[in-house]
């Protein structure tokens, strides 16, 4: 099944499945209760109601709410129990609007339980009501759970000042023990970084001249932002460098089978699935020591370097500082920029053209997400400010708020790569942004609900139209 040539080939996992279900793309099928499954014909030839009486709008609204719940759960795994929303970073006018619309949330955990109950009830809720609930859950995720989680990280891990870190596969060397970790367990990453700095192990005994910790994969750019780590790249780059033999240990929340081929073929590369490690109360220092030990042992077995793999070093300007929001907002106003553009990149296709066009048109551009690789390779992550992952959304929105409505806000999500995107999209809608989305998001939220917040949503082909500049009109 696997061989040395295709073990980490970027095989499109969608390809064998063929065409997607049109009912599901529109949110018009339901498997939520024992009376189903049901689906509604959008053209009026088949069923117009589900067995419980739910119509098309109800099913679409429940689908949106479920998506936002799933993404919020990924963000709040460590902090769902935190108690209150944080209003300090919200403009007064926006806060008043959210309270009037009934979307200003209470504790994140309570909001999610309430939303789950609403999803599970038979079809009595209107679509707008369900979409407003989705926005309320999203605001709970960002302004209750994540805001306080970030404060805890600031207090315990510190905040990396603006700094330039190595980026791309060129930062790896077969002479250095390389531990790669994603952003799902920041405390573990911090513990490994600390242990590496304090290690007294004679590295030359393992045939190496050093140990390095590198961020990659899901939320890897957030980890680089938070801890000032070198940034390898997205999951595809990780797979390629593993195949090339310059990675010794990979610790990721593996939902895509990245580690499986190596386990099946007996590779020397050690793999740790962070999904199997609880995010709270683990012995991070002890685990960090064990992972370093495994990485050293793997390196001692000897790297297997692919002769046809070219490494190109790049750099990433990352980190933050307390006054950067005011600095960026002041610069945007002083230079009379055209607006503020936030790019959230799950994949990188076409993003260089998009960033170039936005910069040429005079936008202040900020970006985050797993798909920064093309922007990094093209040298744009200096002109484009790094937000630090999708969770950096709040930082981008804080910059937009600091210009006090004097500049328009545009948000681009050209490809949806994971469920974390959904609460982010709902949040920027609540902020009244003009939002440009991939085509699969055409039915995510109704124009009426978006209009309640002064927002508008446009959907189009994910790669082709972004590359053609469709999002900047």
- Is the model's pLDDT at 467 over the cut of 50? no
Tokens matching residue 239 = 């797979």
Q: In b/e form, how buried is each residue of 247-281, taking b as 16+ CB within 10 angstroms?
A: bbbbbbbbeeebbebbeeeebebbbbbbeeeebee
Q: What is the pLDDT of residue 468?
A: 43
CA distances to 87, 89, 103, 177, 431 from 96, in Å: 11, 13, 10, 53, 12
Model confidence band, residue 202 (pLDDT cutoffs 50, 70, 90): low
Answer whether residue 395 shows pLDDT above 60.
yes
d(CA 425, CA 447): 14
- Are both 21-157 and 321-472 of the same fold? no
Q: What is the spatial distance between Cα 455 and Cα 458, in angstroms, rounded to a whole number?
A: 10
> What local confidence, expressed as pLDDT, does residue 470 receive?
44
Cα–Cα dist 472/357, whole Å: 8
Average the pLDDT over 227-250 and give the result: 90
The domain defined by 163-300 folds into: Rossmann fold (3.40.50)
Average pLDDT value for residue range 432-451: 89
- Greater confidence, 52 or 329? 329
Q: Quick one: what percent of the chain has pLDDT higher than 90? A: 40
309 pLDDT band (50/70/90 cuts)? low
Tokens of 126: 């209107």
For residues 143-162, give the mean pLDDT.
84
> Which secondary-structure segment (H or E) carries 451?
helix 447-451
pLDDT 10s digits, 3-21: 444 444 444 444 444 566 7
Distance (Å, rounded) from C-alpha 438 to C-alpha 462? 5
Position 115 scores a pLDDT of 92
pLDDT tens string 58-111? 888 888 999 999 989 888 776 655 555 665 567 777 889 999 999 998 888 888
- Alpha carbon 277 to its chain centroid, in Å, reads 20
Provide mean pLDDT across the span 447-465: 78
Report pTM: 0.86
Q: What is the mean pLDDT of the chain?
A: 83
pLDDT digits (tens, 9 = 90+) for 310-364: 567 899 999 998 789 999 999 999 999 999 999 998 876 778 999 999 999 999 9
Measuring CA to CA, which residue among 101, 111, 87 is closest to residue 423? 111
Map residue 262 onto helix, strand or coil: helix
Instruction: For the chain, give every domain's residue range.
Output: 21-157, 163-300, 321-472
For the CA atoms of 361, 320, 153, 241, what is the dihedral angle to 10 degrees?
Answer: 70
Beta pairing class for 456-460 and 434-438:
parallel
Check: CB of residue 398 under 8 Å from CB of residue 71: no
- The CATH fold assigned to 21-157 is Substrate Binding Domain Of Dnak; Chain:A; Domain 2 (1.20.1270)
SS3 128: helix
Bridge partners, residue 180, by sequence: 214, 250
Please, is 409 exposed, middle or buried when counting C-beta atoms within 10 Å of its C-beta (0-12, 13-18, 19+)? buried
For the 321-472 domain, the top CATH level (class) is: alpha beta
């Amino acid at each position: 099944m696997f061989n040395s040539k295709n073990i980490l080939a970027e095989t499109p996992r969608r390809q064998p499945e063929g065409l997607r279900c049109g009912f599901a793309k529109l949110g018009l099928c339901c498997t939520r209760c024992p009376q189903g499954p049901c689906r509604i014909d959008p053209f009026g030839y088949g069923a117009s109601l589900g067995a419980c009486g739910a119509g098309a709008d109800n099913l679409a609204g429940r689908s949106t709410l479920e998506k936002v719940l799933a993404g919020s759960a990924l963000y709040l795994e460590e902090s769902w129990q935190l108690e209150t929303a944080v209003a300090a970073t919200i403009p007064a006018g926006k806060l008043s609007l959210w309270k009037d619309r009934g979307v200003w949330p209470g504790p994140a955990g309570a909001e999610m339980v309430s939303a789950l109950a609403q999803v599970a009830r038979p079809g009595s809720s209107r679509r707008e009501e369900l979409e407003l609930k989705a926005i309320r859950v999203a605001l709970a995720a960002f302004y209750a759970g994540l805001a306080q989680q970030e404060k805890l990280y600031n207090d315990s891990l510190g905040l990396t000042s603006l700094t330039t870190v190595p980026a791309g596969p060129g930062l790896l060397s077969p002479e250095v023990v390389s531990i790669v970790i994603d952003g799902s367990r920041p405390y573990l990453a911090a513990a490994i970084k600390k242990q590496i700095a304090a290690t007294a192990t004679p590295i030359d005994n393992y045939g190496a001249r050093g140990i390095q910790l590198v961020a990659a994969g899901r939320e890897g750019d957030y980890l680089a932002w938070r801890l000032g780590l070198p940034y390898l790249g997205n999951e595809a780059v990780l797979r390629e460098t593993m195949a090339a033999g310059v990675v010794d240990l990979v610790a990721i929340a593996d939902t895509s089978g990245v580690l499986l081929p190596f386990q099946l073929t007996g590779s020397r590369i050690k793999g740790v699935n962070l999904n199997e490690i609880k995010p709270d109360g683990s012995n991070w220092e002890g685990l960090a020591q064990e992972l370093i030990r495994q990485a050293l042992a793997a390196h001692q077995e000897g790297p297997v370097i692919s002769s046809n793999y070219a490494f190109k070093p790049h750099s990433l300007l990352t980190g933050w500082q307390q006054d950067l929001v005011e600095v960026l907002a002041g610069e945007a106003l002083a230079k009379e920029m055209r607006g503020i553009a936030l790019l959230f990149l799950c994949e990188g296709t076409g993003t260089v053209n998009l960033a170039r066009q936005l910069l040429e048109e005079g936008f202040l551009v900020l970006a985050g997400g797993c798909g920064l690789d093309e922007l990094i390779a093209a040298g744009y992550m200096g002109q484009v400010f790094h937000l630090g992952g999708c969770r950096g959304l709040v930082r981008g929105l804080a910059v937009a708020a600091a210009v006090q409505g004097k500049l328009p806000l545009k948000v681009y999500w050209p490809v949806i790569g994971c469920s974390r995107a959904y609460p982010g999209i709902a949040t920027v809608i609540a902020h009244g942004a003009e939002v440009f989305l991939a085509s699969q998001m055409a039915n995510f939220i109704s124009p009426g609900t978006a209009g309640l917040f002064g927002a508008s949503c446009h959907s189009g082909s994910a790669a082709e139209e972004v590359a053609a500049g469709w999002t900047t009109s």
